[in-house]
Structure 1
């Protein structure tokens, strides 16, 4: 099983209806493809972790790359896992901001120059799991 985490910039600031549409579509597609994960949105930035079988994950990520609701997609990390980090979440969701995320030791501000090469970069999943465990999210 594989996972990946990406960050992207929204094409425009999204309202609640647009976010709800993304969430509903993502949950439906993830159910069909046996993917799990979490999506954070705040201040015009998406951070998403997806996990599942390699082919389904690659297909979904390719679809995400073509989605015109965002741009500047950067894959932060990817790898192999033996068990899911978010097994019960077809798509956990939280609208958040940098102040919320900065409370975690493993948070890396994406505005920091060279953040992808940062020494904490292997802790991206840890940061997302900690955030999920400490915040009420829609799942």
Structure 2
């Protein structure tokens, strides 16, 4: 099986409340588990950043579905690549609402984690996407 990973950012068409985020996440986890999709979803200030990994066809189908979802706007595919192994093996879809975190209290805090998820900097330099995700995973292990 050839594994593929895509990272995208989008803005929500309206702000999500906690209940709405949790409902969306529960449906996503169930659907993703059936399709062999793993990844992580970050939410902050009405913006999403998500890593999706799995078989290339399934990853692309999911991104098409997300692109057609009226809850999302300004979807930017930041980075796509073939991978040898999953980075989020045990997570059908990890989630963190970065609005709820007092990030400065975490060891290794970097103000970089407060960059808006729809920042043009991510589109201009895809290595920043990996840095954001790596910092998030390191802090939350």
TM over 0.5: yes
Unaligned runs of 5+ in 2: none
Counterpart in 2 of 1:116? 123
Residues 114 and 60 of structure 1: CA distance in aligned 2, closer, same or farther (over 3 Å): same
CA-CA distance at 1:126 after TM superposition: 3.9
**Contact 2:10 2:118 survives alignment (8 Å):** no
Residues 75 and 99 of structure 1: CA distance in aligned 2, closer, same or farther (over 3 Å): farther
Counterpart in 2 of 1:131? 136
What is the Cα-based RMSD across aligned positions, in Å? 2.6
Give the alignment's TM-score, normalised by structure 2. Answer: 0.82
Residues 126 and 86 of structure 1: CA distance in aligned 2, closer, same or farther (over 3 Å): farther
Deviations 1:74-132 (A, max 9, x none): 001110100001100000000004984981669865565554123xx224234213202
Higher helix share: 2
Q: Equivalences for 1:30-69 in 2 at 5 Å?
A: 30-69=32-71
Deviations 1:3-27 (A, max 9, x none): 0000000111110111011100110
Count of residues in correspondence between the two structures = 134
- Which deviates more, 100-109 or 59-68? 100-109
Counterpart in 1 of 2:4? 2
Q: Secondary structure at the match of 2:90?
A: coil
Q: Secondary structure at the match of 1:48?
A: strand
Deviations 1:13-65 (A, max 9, x none): 11011101110011011101101000000100000000000111111111111
